[in-house]
Structure formats: C-alpha cells, structure tokens
Amino acid sequence: MNATNHNRTFGLGILIILAGIFILLDQLHFLSPTLSEIFISWQMLLIALGIYNLFFSESSKTFGLILLFVGGFFLLPEIFTLPHNFSRNFWPVLLIVLGIFILYRSGAFGKRPETARPIDAKEMEYFDEVNVFGGSEKKVSIKNFRGGRITSIFGGSEIDLTGSELAEGIQVIEVFYVFGGSSLKVPENWVVTNKVAAILGGFSDKRSNPPVSDGIKNELVIRGSVIFGGGEIKS
C-alpha cells in the first residue's frame, strides 16, 4: 500500500471510529439533547466528509471546503440563537463566497494559487478557459501541453485537445463547474486520471477503451469540483 492509499485508509478509519464513539455515547445517554442534535446530524456528516477531503484525500480541496461551508452554515442555528429565517440567507451567502473564490482563482488578491499556472506567452503550454452565462468551442494545439484550468458557471465549453502533445510527467487540468460543465476531447493514446469531486453532478470518462497507466511517463490528471454540473472525457 502506497503512502497516498495509507493516508486515505487512515483518515477513513479515524472518521468511522469517531462516528462510532459519538453514536455509542448517544445510545448510552451520555450526550445532552443539544450535543446529540449537533453530533448526530447530516450537517456534521458533511463537515466530517469535508475534513476527510481536506486532509486525507487526493480529491480537490475546494470540494472539502464546500462541504465544510454547507455543513457549518446549517449547523450554526443548532449552536447559536439566530433568526428563524437564517437559512434563507444561504443562497446570497453562497453567491458571495463563490464570487470571492472566482476572484481568488483569477489572482485578484495577489499571488495565484499554486494550481493556477501562469501562461507562457512564447511557449503557450497552458490554457485558461472561463465561461460565465455562456459557452464556447475551442481547439487547443500545444506541442508541449502542461495542463490548464476550466471555469464554467452557468455555462459550458467544448475543448478539443487532439492536436496537442502531452508534456513528459504528470500534467493537471483544474476544473470548477457550478451549474455548468465541459467536454474534453483527448488523443486516444493519452492516459487520463479522473480526480474530480462532484456534488449533485458528475464527471466521467466516456472513452470506450481508455489506456491505463503502465510505466507510461506521460499522464493527464483532471481534478477539481463540480456542483450541479457535469463534464466528460472523450476521444
């Protein structure tokens, strides 16, 4: 078992043990009704899954943060005395958080996150596709392709990479879809690993016979988050 699988297994084991402890304490009436409503709830389940994605999983950290945000938001009324219509603020707060996240990805707050690689104007080894309330079709032909980013919010895109050549090593495409998605067309011989996390959405490899990683030096990893959206890989 490699280090990554060991880390995931360790994290899952810890969460299951903690869940068992809290359920047992509740069954033995060691938890007060208030604590029982907090720890034995769907909100705490989302928080636990968020923590797992942040610290023990290779999935997108954004996915873990979203789970923490949703679980924490709806758990607040169980902990504090808040207005009865507090939950109605969920969507405007979510839009604010989403806007801040988009600005962060664009580098508006200074240094871009590590996954957001700069585009070299000379070599053009990366691409950055953004669609908001719209769509696009793009053919990307890069001889030393090193990945990129796709952001689709109430929009979508079709990206054709069949004219590109994957650079040596593991290259990454970071995706972020909210009520949107994209279709990626890749060369038949590309090894593609799907690590996209989805909430009420999906991202699938539709190729009939995709090659597997078996000593191949070049690999494309697609990771990120899908919320009420979807995407697909095809050749």
**Same domain membership, residue 222 and residue 142:** yes
The verdict on residue 206 lying in a domain is: yes
Which residues have CB under 8 Å from 13's CB, separation 6+? none
Q: Please indicate, yes or no, whether residues 143 and 74 belong to a single structural domain of this protein.
A: no
Q: Give pTM, 2 decimals.
A: 0.59
- Asked if residue 192 belongs to a domain, the reply is yes
Tell me how far CA of residue 19 lies from CA of 23, 39, 49, 57, 145, in angstroms.
6, 9, 12, 18, 44
pLDDT at residue 91 above 80?
no
- Residue 35 counted as domain residue: yes
Classify residue 200: in a domain, yes or no.
yes
* In a shared domain, residues 136 and 229: yes
- Phi, psi of 9, rounded to the nearest 5 degrees: -65, -40
Residue 103 has a pLDDT of: 72
Same domain, 62 and 158: no
Residues 71 and 148 in one domain: no
Q: Which of 52, 67, 82 is the last residue of a domain?
A: 82
Let me know whether 64 and 161 are in one domain.
Answer: no
- 20, part of any domain: yes
User: Residue 69 falls within a domain, yes or no?
Assistant: yes
pLDDT tens-digit map of 143-163: 888 888 888 888 888 888 888
Distance CA 126, CA 144 (A): 9
d(CA 120, CA 145): 11
SS3 137: strand
217/153 same-domain check:
yes
Closest CA to 26 of 14, 16, 15, 40: 40
Q: Is residue 115 part of a domain?
A: no
Q: Kindly report, residue by residue over 176-202, the tens digit of the pLDDT.
A: 888 888 888 888 888 888 888 877 778
Query: Quick one: which of 11, 40, 46, 45 has its CA closest to 27?
Result: 40
| Orientation angle between helical segments 61-79 and 90-106, nearest 10 degrees | 150
Looking at the 3D structure of the chain, how many domains does it have?
A: 2
Residue 211 and residue 146 share a domain: yes
20-51 pLDDT, tens digit per residue, is 998 898 888 888 888 888 888 888 888 888 88
Q: What tokens were used for 54? A: 């942040």
Residues 140, 228, single domain; the answer is: yes
CA dist., res. 118 & res. 146, Å (int): 11
Say yes or no: 131 and 69 in one domain: no
Whether residues 138 and 221 fall in one domain = yes
Task: Provide the mean pLDDT of the chain.
Answer: 78
- Quick one: 75 and 17 in the same domain? yes
Task: Identify whether 89 is part of a domain.
Answer: no
* Domain end among 82, 113, 147: 82
Domain boundary among 67, 82, 97: 82
**Tens digits of residue pLDDT in 69-88:** 888 888 888 788 777 777 77
Q: What is the domain extent for residue 72?
A: 3-82
